[in-house]
């Protein structure tokens, strides 16, 4: 199967771990395509309602800076080919390929579940991360508004939250974010993978244009909302030549900090990524994978805590050195923002508490 316009994965491959069967195969980036090129055949996005019993997930990974997270959606319409969350779709008997970006799950009960869980006796407050698995501001948030409803609970309870996104749709909630920011209860991380629209169009086809993300950093910063940037992932031979430019642009836009993660290719992501390389960058596909394997100890992926984010070896050291130098020259201090937890007002849960 060749690349479908507006989608990241070039195939809907079988999941080797869960026996997912092979399948035949609207967003921000291609809103105007049909106006320019006329109607095109495409795989439409489908959304299934999911009713989970709980909404807060707990994390035990030692190299992640939070221990609580919420994902309003499963799957992500942005279609980023490198997304490490793609394998999770296999648990639903769906492919981590095109299914991941076209067959989505929404959790409309999320805010009610969050309000109930925050009201449980014994709940211990710590920042809740949103966007750790799939983007909370992917295109379907426009209609479902689940992320906004979750933020409304955060405002009500004065609960701290970290938000990671690559969408300027976050600006639709700037009123709630400003309310939280005045009490140091929110921090936003904007993902800026590349500044090259040609690369972005295939790498993350339904995410907003890179310039819209830079503009979002400026608006958030101007509103007093702490915002940092993440060049995630850095892919050798694809976007590593942009390190200095990306760091400089996000600094000029008002980001308080900038970080990076090397490309990760767990489970089914590796063959999907190789197919994407062969489709879009056949001239360098072999070289890109050779460098990735060099940074991952001879494998497509390194799952080990600590090294999985930054890699190892000469290539990883070179990228790290360049990034740290660029960050220093741009004036970043490396200071980590700490959110407050002392203002939390627990909800009453499922039943009103006796006074």
- The arithmetic mean of pLDDT across residues 219-246, rounded, is 98
pLDDT band at 132 (very low <50, low <70, confident <90, very high): confident
Banded pLDDT at 9 (limits 50, 70, 90): low
Predicted confidence at residue 40, as pLDDT, reads 47
- Is pLDDT of 83 > 50? yes
DSSP string of 168-223, one letter each residue: GGGGGGHHHHHHHHTTT-EEEEEE---S-HHHHHHHSTTSPPHHHHHHHHHHHHHT
Rg (CA), the chain: 20
The mean pLDDT value for 212-225 works out to 98
Domains in the chain, start-ordered, CATH in brackets? Answer: 33-329 (3.20.20.70)
CA torsion, points 55, 90, 292, 137, in degrees to nearest 10? -40
Mean pLDDT in the chain?
Answer: 89
Confidence of residue 43 (pLDDT cuts 50, 70, 90): confident
Q: What is the pLDDT of residue 33?
A: 47
CA distance 83 to 87: 9
Percent of the chain's residues with pLDDT above 90: 78
What confidence tens digit (pLDDT) does each residue in 89-108 have? 998 899 999 999 999 999 99
Question: Is the N-terminal amide bond of 233 cis, ω within 30° of 0?
Answer: yes
Tell me the mean pLDDT in the region 61-87.
90
For residue range 166-212, what is the model confidence (pLDDT) as tens digits?
999 999 999 999 999 999 999 999 999 999 999 999 999 999 999 99
- Whether 38 and 297 have beta carbons less than 8 Å apart is answered as no
Task: Output the pLDDT for position 63.
Answer: 60
pLDDT the model gives residue 308: 80
pLDDT band at 2 (very low <50, low <70, confident <90, very high): low
Question: For 253-311, what is each residue's pLDDT tens digit?
Answer: 999 999 999 999 999 999 999 999 999 999 999 999 999 999 999 999 988 887 888 89
- Give the three-state DSSP class for 15: strand
């Amino acid at each position: 199967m060749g690349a479908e316009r507006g989608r990241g994965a070039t195939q809907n491959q079988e999941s080797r771990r869960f026996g997912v069967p092979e399948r035949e195969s609207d967003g921000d980036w291609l809103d105007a395509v049909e106006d320019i090129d006329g109607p095109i055949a495409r795989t439409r996005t489908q959304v299934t309602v999911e009713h989970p019993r709980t909404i807060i997930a707990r994390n035990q990974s030692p190299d992640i800076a939070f221990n609580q997270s919420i994902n309003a959606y499963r799957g992500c319409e942005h279609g980023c080919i490198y997304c490490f969350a793609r394998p999770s779709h296999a648990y639903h008997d769906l492919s981590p390929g095109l299914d991941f970006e076209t067959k989505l799950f929404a959790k409309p009960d999320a805010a009610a579940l969050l309000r109930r869980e925050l009201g449980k006796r014994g709940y211990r407050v710590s920042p809740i991360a949103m966007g750790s698995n799939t983007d909370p501001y992917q295109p379907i948030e426009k209609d479902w508004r689940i992320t906004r409803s979750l933020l409304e609970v955060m405002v009500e309870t004065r609960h701290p939250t970290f938000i990671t996104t690559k969408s300027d749709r976050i600006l639709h909630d700037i009123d709630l974010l400003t309310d939280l920011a005045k009490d140091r209860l929110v921090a936003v991380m904007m993902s800026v993978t590349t500044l090259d629209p040609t690369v972005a169009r295939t790498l993350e086809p339904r995410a907003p244009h890179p310039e819209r993300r830079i503009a979002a950093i400026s608006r958030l910063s101007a509103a007093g909302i702490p915002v940092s940037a993440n060049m995630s992932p850095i892919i050798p031979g694809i976007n590593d030549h942009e390190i200095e430019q990306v760091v400089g642009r996000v600094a000029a836009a008002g980001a308080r900090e900038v970080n990076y993660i090397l490309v990760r290719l767990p489970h089914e992501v590796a063959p999907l990524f190789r197919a994407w390389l062969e489709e879009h960058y056949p001239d360098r596909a072999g070289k890109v994978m050779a460098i990735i394997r060099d940074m991952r100890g001879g494998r497509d992926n390194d799952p080990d805590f600590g090294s999985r984010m930054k890699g190892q070896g000469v290539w990883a050291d070179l990228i790290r050195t360049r990034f740290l130098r660029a960050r220093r020259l741009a004036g970043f201090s490396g200071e980590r923002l700490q959110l407050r937890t002392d203002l939390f007002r627990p909800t009453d849960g499922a039943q009103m508490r006796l006074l």
